[in-house]
Every structure is written in C-alpha cells, then in structure tokens.
C-alpha cells in the first residue's frame, strides 16, 4: 500500500443523478487541493467525459483517490453540508485568467498593428527619400555633362518634364535689365516672363501659383536666373517645393561653373590669339598657319606657333603645346614662345634652343610641361635642321606630292625634372615645290580612333595634288581632318613651302 495514496470516495454510478453527485464531490476535492486553475479545469473536463462514457456502458464503480500530496498539505474534507459547488469554483479563475490573457493579447495586437503601420509609413518615407535622392543624383549627373550655359539649361528643362516633375519647364536668365528665355519645353519660345518669374528674380525667393512653381537660381546672394515649372494639377505641395529648391540649387552651381568657364575660356583664347605672330614673307618661301580653339570642353590655352626670319636670313619655325589648359597654360605658352624666339635670334641651333628653354622652365615654380618642335630652314638651299621634345613628328612633302613623317628621335618633354636634357638634332632638305608641316595634337587626336590612325589621315591629307599648295592646301587639310567641326582640344597648324622657281607667285 502506498502511504501517499488516499482513497476519498468509492461509489457506484448507474444514473445521471449519481454521476452529478460524484462530479460535485470531485469539485469539492479540487477546490481544496493545491492544483492550478488550468490543471483543475483539465481534470474536471476529463472526469466529466469518463462519467458519460461509464453511463453509456451501463454504469460502474468510481473512486476518487489523492496521491502524492505535498508535505504539510491536509486531505480534502468532503463534508455533508447541503449546497452545490458550481463549475465556476474551478472554471471561474480559469475564465478570469483567459479574460486577462485576451485583454493582454488585444493590447499586443493593437501595439503590433500600430508598429506595422509605423513601419509601413517609415518604409514609404524611406522609399520617397530614395526616389528623391535618385532624382537629384540624375539631375546632378546630367548637369555636369556640359559647360555650355544654353545646353545645361535645355537639358535641365527637358529632364524635369521627362521625369514627370513638370508638364512644362522654362529657364530665364537676366540679359541687361530684362529676363530672356534661354531654354524651354514649350512649342513656342515665350517672349515675356509671367509676374511670378519677375517676382522670384527680384525677391530671390520661390513663387507659387495655380499649378505653377517658380524657383530662382541662387548662388549666395546672386540670382543667376529663374526656373519656371508648370502643370495642370495638382498644385505643388511642400515636399515638391523643397525638392524643386534642391534642383534649382544644383542647377545654379552648374550655371555658375558654365559662366566662369566661358569667361576663362574667352580670356585664354584672347590671350592666345594676341600672342600669335605675323607670318614672315619672302620670295623663296610661303608660310601659312591656322589656330583653332577647342569647340567643346575646357581644352584651350596651350598651343602656339611661331615663324620668323633671323638676321642671318634663316627661317625659324616652331610649334608647341603646354600641358594643362586655361589661363595658366596660355600664360606659360606666351613665355615659352618668347623664350624660343629670343634664343633662336641669338643664333642658337634647334637642339640648343630647346635645351635652354627646358632649363628656363626648371627655374620656374610650375607643374606644367611642354612639347615643342623647332626647325631652321635656309630658304636658298632648302637645308633644314630640326629638333623636337616630346612632340608629334613633322611631315615632309616632296615636289611630286608624296609625304612622310619625320620620325627621328626626340628629347623628352620640356620641364621634366631632369638636370640636363640631351636634344638630338637632325637634318634634311626641302626641295623646291616641297613643304614642311608642323602641327599640334588637336589636329590628329580623336576619341573614336587612335593616334596612329590620326597620323595616317594627316599624311594622306598632306600628300595631295602637287598643284594644291599654300592656303588652298591648308583649307583642304582642315576640311579632311576636322570633318565634324567639333574637336575637344585646340589646334595649331604651320605650313612652310619652298616656292618652285617656275611658280614663285602661287597661292
């Protein structure tokens, strides 16, 4: 016998009334035992199910036994007092726990819904910010693709319409005392700005209207122009106005850069053209030259040519190119041009002249380098001495029109950190009716083919009909080599021809 096992009830159950009384006794036992609400309810449900099965089987004997009570726990007392112990004695606490759990679950569900709503809102905001940043990045990348003011503004208004930010877009810039339309997506160029455009330019603040957003191009306190955006509906909201201000700010910086570049380019080109020399005249020789600034990009300021007759009667020809571009390159170009002329007039040969110019550059605080080629021609005999420093080879044409490149060894670039510079000299002869061509890389270098291809095209253009000489030859070569009239570097060309005795006045 198990000392921790106690039989409380043993009863025959044959009717539903007997089963109900036994169930009542079980409820009294459960109420007095240290059983948690969940397990008590489970036991009551299991006992009820067993009693129904017992009645369905015709009845039987049921015992209520308590096992393994904790130490110090009293045995349940069934008693004989009247009154029923309802199911709520066991199920009531359980229902209270369930109700509390349902309340807590409802609170957690509400919190979860609010959290999900917050996450969805945050995701939507982050997606909106991502789209805005992508849009601004596209604007920024588009604005740096050109340094021409009109082209920058035209690309801007087209992009804003294409991206759906506006149905129409127009850019206005100040011209003297008025505003002029520089770029628009309208079918017809507007002649007069609307009042909001004028107000934005004067107040330096954005203006709005029905389906209208007008934004000034501001750099500091300076208004460089006005951007006018329009659409049918809806009106621009606060977020769109803020985004428009960011677009106008980026466009203003691009506009300022384009204008500063144009000013520097114009100044560099003016300096460069002012330094180009007058060409010498002689019965025995014909000299033609061209200078063309770059038609796009920032590559202007470094190329030069020079041609003069020394006191001893020899003709000196030189072409060079300073690395870098802009005003600094133009100023350095002027110094080198004058130095080369001065050293040559003193009677130094081509190699010595280039070496002296190299030494001069090494005394200056500059990172700029230069290429150059210098030739010295005796007009009477056609004897030619020449030397080069990192420059493209000259081209020599025979009287029959055939041409070749003079590819003899040259010195490195002028201005390199070399204590001494060895400049080899070479010699050849220009026959009467023949010619010598000096040029810079802007004549032969292109993005869509390599330098060797450019040099072959140069030789083919130079090897023309021997009857085509002088200015007609120069025009024909430029037409062949600058076919699209757009080149990204400035260009010099210097042509020297010995006049054939039977045709001294040929053009």
Percent of the chain that is helix, strand, coil (3-state, to 5):
40, 25, 35
- Token pair 């709503």 is found at 117
The bridge status of strand 212-219 relative to strand 370-377 is unpaired
Pairing type for strands 222-230 and 285-292 reads unpaired
H helices of 276-326, where? none
Q: Are the CB atoms for 403 and 430 separated by under 8 Å?
A: no
| Token digits of residue 74 | 């009293």
Distances in Å between the alpha carbon of 506 and those of 48, 136, 286, 468, 498? 131, 61, 9, 9, 11
Are 297 and 488 spatial neighbours (Cβ–Cβ below 8 Å)?
yes
For residue 117, the model assigns a pLDDT of 86
The answer to whether the CB of 182 falls within 8 A of the CB of 150 is: yes
Please choose, from the candidates 156, 143, 144, 146, the residue with its C-alpha nearest in 3D space to the C-alpha of residue 182. 156
The pLDDT value given to residue 146: 81
Q: Which residues pair with 296 in a beta bridge?
A: none
Helix (H) or strand (E) holding 112: helix 88-143
Token pair 């384009």: residue: 258
Nearest to 477 by CA among 491, 495, 458, 490: 458
What do you get for the CA distance between the two ends of the chain, in Å?
140
What is the pTM assigned to this prediction? 0.57
Which residues, 6+ apart, have CB-to-CB distance to 459 below 8 Å? 395, 403, 404, 405
- Name the phi and psi angles at 180, rounded to 5: -120, 140
Q: Is 290 helix (H, G, I), strand (E, B) or coil?
A: strand
Between CA 459 and CA 395 the distance in angstroms is 7
Instruction: Tell me how many degrees the CA angle 489-493-498 measures, rounded to the nearest 5.
Output: 170
> CA 139, CA 439: separation in Å to the nearest integer?
40
How far is residue 254's CA from residue 145's CA, in Å, rounded to a whole number?
Answer: 10
Rounded Cα–Cα distance for residues 441 and 491 (Å): 7
Structure token digits, residue 410: 């040259």
Rounded to whole angstroms, the Cα distance separating 443 from 427 reads 25
Q: Cis check for the bond before 234: say yes or no (omega within 30 of 0).
A: yes
Q: What is the predicted pLDDT for the residue at 245?
A: 93
Coil, helix or strand at residue 275: helix
> What is the predicted pLDDT for the residue at 506?
45
Structure-token match 């009551």, residue found = 44
- Alpha carbons 330 and 322: distance in angstroms, whole number: 8
Give the strand order in the sheet containing 435-439: 285-292, 491-498, 435-439, 395-397, 403-405
Average pLDDT per consecutive 10 residues, the chain (507 residues; last block may be shorter): 67 85 78 76 80 85 79 67 55 72 86 87 83 88 85 92 92 88 88 91 92 92 93 89 92 90 73 77 93 64 88 95 79 88 95 95 88 96 97 96 96 91 96 95 87 94 87 92 65 92 53
* Closest C-alpha to 258, from 142, 150, 141, 136: 150
Q: Which residue, 404, 408, 383, 386, is CA-closest to 395?
A: 404
Using only the alpha carbons of the chain, give its radius of gyration. Answer: 49
pLDDT of residue 296: 55
């Amino acid at each position: 016998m198990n000392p921790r096992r106690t039989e409380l009830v043993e009863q025959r159950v044959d009717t539903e009334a007997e089963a109900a009384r036994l169930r009542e006794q079980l409820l009294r036992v459960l109420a007095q035992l240290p059983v948690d609400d969940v397990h008590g309810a489970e036991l009551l449900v299991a006992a009820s199910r067993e009693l129904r099965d017992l009645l369905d089987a015709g009845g039987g004997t049921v015992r209520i036994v308590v096992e393994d009570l904790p130490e110090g726990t009293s045995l349940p007392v069934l008693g004989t007092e009247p009154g029923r112990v309802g199911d709520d004695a066991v199920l009531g606490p359980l229902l209270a726990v369930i109700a509390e759990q349902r309340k807590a679950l409802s609170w957690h569900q509400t919190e979860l819904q609010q959290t999900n709503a917050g996450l969805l809102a945050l995701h939507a905001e982050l997606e909106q910010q991502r789209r805005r940043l992508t849009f601004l990045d596209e604007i920024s990348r588009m604005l740096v693709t050109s340094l021409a003011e009109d082209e920058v503004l035209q690309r801007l208004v087209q992009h804003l319409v294409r991206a759906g930010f506006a149905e129409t877009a127009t850019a206005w810039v100040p011209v003297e005392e008025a505003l002029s339309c520089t770029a628009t997506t309208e079918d017809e160029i507007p002649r007069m700005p609307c009042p909001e455009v004028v107000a934005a330019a004067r107040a330096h603040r954005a203006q709005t209207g029905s389906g209208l957003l007008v934004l000034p191009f501001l750099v500091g306190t300076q208004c460089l122009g006005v951007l006018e955006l329009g659409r049918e509906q809806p009106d621009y909201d606060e977020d769109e106005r803020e985004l428009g201000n960011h677009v106008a700010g980026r466009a203003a910086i691009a506009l300022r850069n384009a204008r500063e570049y144009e000013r520097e380019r114009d100044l560099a080109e003016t300096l460069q053209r002012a330094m180009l020399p007058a060409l010498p005249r002689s019965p025995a020789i014909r000299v033609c030259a061209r200078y063309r600034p770059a038609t796009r990009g920032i590559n202007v300021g470094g190329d030069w040519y020079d041609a003069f007759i020394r006191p001893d009667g020899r003709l000196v020809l030189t072409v060079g190119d300073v690395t870098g571009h802009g005003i600094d390159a133009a100023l350095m170009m002027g110094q080198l041009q004058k130095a080369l002329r001065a050293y040559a007039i003193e009677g130094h040969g081509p190699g010595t002249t280039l070496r002296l110019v190299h030494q001069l550059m090494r005394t200056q605080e500059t990172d700029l380098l230069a290429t150059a080629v210098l030739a010295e021609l005796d007009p009477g005999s056609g004897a030619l001495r020449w030397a080069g420093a990192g420059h493209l080879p000259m081209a020599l044409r025979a009287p029959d029109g055939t041409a070749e490149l003079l590819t003899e060894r040259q010195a490195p670039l002028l201005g390199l950190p070399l204590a001494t510079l060895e400049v080899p000299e070479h010699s050849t002869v220009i026959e009467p009716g023949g010619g010598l061509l000096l040029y810079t890389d802007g004549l032969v270098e292109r993005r869509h083919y390599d330098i060797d291809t450019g040099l072959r095209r140069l030789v083919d253009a130079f090897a023309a009909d021997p009857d085509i000489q002088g200015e007609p030859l120069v025009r024909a070569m430029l037409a062949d080599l600058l076919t699209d009239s757009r080149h990204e570097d400035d260009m010099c060309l210097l042509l020297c021809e010995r006049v054939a005795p039977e045709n001294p006045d040929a053009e």
